[in-house]
């Protein structure tokens, strides 16, 4: 199962990322659908989701596990939903922009749908990350300590760097397919730790030390 341990020992993040992205991309439509349903079942049970009033999630691409089944449920519960938007004039940082039924959408430079720039530019349509209750973060890989690997742009790490300091902080929930688990991932100094990882088959919380 964890046949990629060899990659993490060698520290070859680029090769590991490529392999993990391949794994999720080759899942069949049926496997994708089942995984999304199982993921959302688990997410709905989590206290960090049930008590949240402001949540960010993402629109999946290229085999990413799909958290959007949560949307009707969240809307029913009057939870405000936000999407990550590539922040203009800023290196690899995100804005979190309101996602209503009527939010005008465009594709960003990675081909991911996001609220259009005119909508996102209006401050009233955005929420600073510290004011969100919970972020659902897309993972490329994770390990049993809930360490994460993302797309490699450092978007989430940069946008959440404020969490190193005292102050209000959202709960971070990483999500991925079970096949994206590896034995151990290298932890980088800039990595912001997740509170929990949820896949279609399990919920992993890091063992707290210190
Ligand atoms: N669905 C989704 N939305 C998201 C993220 C994500 O991981 N998933 N992000 C999380 O950070 C941000 C976008 N980050 C990204 C970082 C790198 C690449 C990337 O490397 N894409 C190409 C390169 C193609 C190109 O340059 O056009 C690739 O897939 O090889 C894509 C998105 C914000 N929105
Ligand atoms: N707070 C930060 N300030 C400046 N650079 C950062 C910060 N966080 C991460 N980076 C840079 O971003 C790059 C990508 O980091 P990494 O490989 O950990 O991405 P990732 O965590 O997989 O991506 P993402 O956060 O988008 O999911 C690294 O070169 C790193 O130096």
3-state secondary structure 73-91: HHHHCCCEEEEEEECCCCC
Q: Once rounded to an integer, what is the mean pLDDT over residues 59-66? A: 98
Q: Please give the C-alpha separations between residue 21 and each of 63, 111, 123, 131, 138, in angstroms, as whole numbers.
A: 8, 16, 34, 31, 12
The CB of 73 under 6 Å from ligand 2? The reply is: no
Residue 70 placed within a domain:
yes
- pLDDT band at residue 9, thresholds of 50, 70 and 90? very low
Residue of 154, 165, 187 with the most ligand 2 atoms within 8 Å of its CB, for mutation: 154
Q: How many CB atoms lie within 10 A of CB 124?
A: 6
The CB of 122 under 6 Å from ligand 2? The reply is: no
What range does the domain containing 107 cover?
A: 3-204
Residue 194 placed within a domain:
yes
What's the CA-to-centroid distance between 209 and ligand 1, angstroms?
32
- pLDDT band at residue 208, thresholds of 50, 70 and 90? confident
The C-alpha atoms of residue 9 and residue 178 are separated, in whole angstroms, by 20
Chain-wide mean pLDDT for the chain? 94
pLDDT at 11: 53
Residue 209 placed within a domain:
no
Q: Once rounded to an integer, what is the mean pLDDT over residues 97-124? A: 97
What's the CA-to-centroid distance between 150 and ligand 2, angstroms?
9
The answer, yes or no, to whether residue 10 has pLDDT greater than 60, is: no
Nearest to 147 by CA among 183, 171, 94, 177: 183
Q: Measured between alpha carbons, how far apart are the two ends of the chain, in Å?
A: 31
pLDDT digits (tens, 9 = 90+) for 158-181: 999 999 999 999 999 999 999 999
Contact 4, 23 (CB under 8 A): no
The answer, yes or no, to whether residue 191 has pLDDT greater than 90, is: yes
Q: Once rounded to an integer, what is the mean pLDDT over residues 102-129? A: 98
pLDDT at 210: 61
The CB of 27 under 6 Å from ligand 1? The reply is: no
Contact 139, 148 (CB under 8 A): yes
Contact 63, 180 (CB under 8 A): no
**Residue 138 CA: which ligand is closest?**
1
The C-alpha atoms of residue 63 and residue 25 are separated, in whole angstroms, by 4
What's the CA-to-centroid distance between 29 and ligand 2, angstroms?
31
The CB of 58 under 6 Å from ligand 2? The reply is: no
Q: Provide the CATH number for the domain around residue 55.
A: 3.40.50.10420
Residue 210 placed within a domain:
no
Q: Is the dihedral of CA 23, 24, 25, 31 positive or negative?
A: positive
Which atom of ligand 2 approaches the CA of 139 most closely?
Answer: 27
The number of domains in the chain is 1
- pLDDT band at residue 1, thresholds of 50, 70 and 90? very low
> From the annotation, which residues make up the binding site?
13-17, 59, 64, 148-156
**ipTM for the complex?**
0.94
């Amino acid at each position: 199962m964890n046949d990629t341990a060899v990659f993490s020992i060698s520290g070859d993040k680029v090769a590991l990322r490529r392999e993990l992205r391949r794994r999720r991309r080759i899942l069949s439509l049926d496997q994708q659908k089942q995984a999304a349903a199982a993921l959302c079942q688990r997410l709905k049970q989590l206290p960090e989701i049930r008590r949240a009033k402001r949540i960010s999630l993402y629109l999946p691409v290229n085999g990413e596990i799909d958290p959007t089944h949560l949307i009707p449920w969240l809307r029913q519960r009057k939870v405000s939903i936000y999407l990550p938007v590539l922040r203009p004039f800023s290196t690899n940082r995100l804005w979190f922009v309101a996602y209503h039924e009527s939010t005008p959408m465009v594709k960003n430079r990675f081909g991911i749908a996001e609220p259009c720039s005119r909508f996102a530019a209006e401050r009233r349509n955005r929420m600073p990350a510290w004011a969100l209750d919970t972020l659902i973060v897309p993972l490329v890989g994770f390990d049993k300590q809930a360490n994460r690997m993302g797309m490699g742009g450092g978007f989430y790490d940069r946008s959440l760097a404020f969490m190193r300091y005292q102050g209000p902080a959202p709960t971070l929930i990483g999500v991925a397919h079970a096949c994206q688990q590896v034995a151990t991932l290298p932890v980088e100094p800039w990595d912001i730790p997740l509170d929990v990882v949820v896949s279609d088959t399990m919920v992993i919380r890091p063992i707290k030390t210190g």
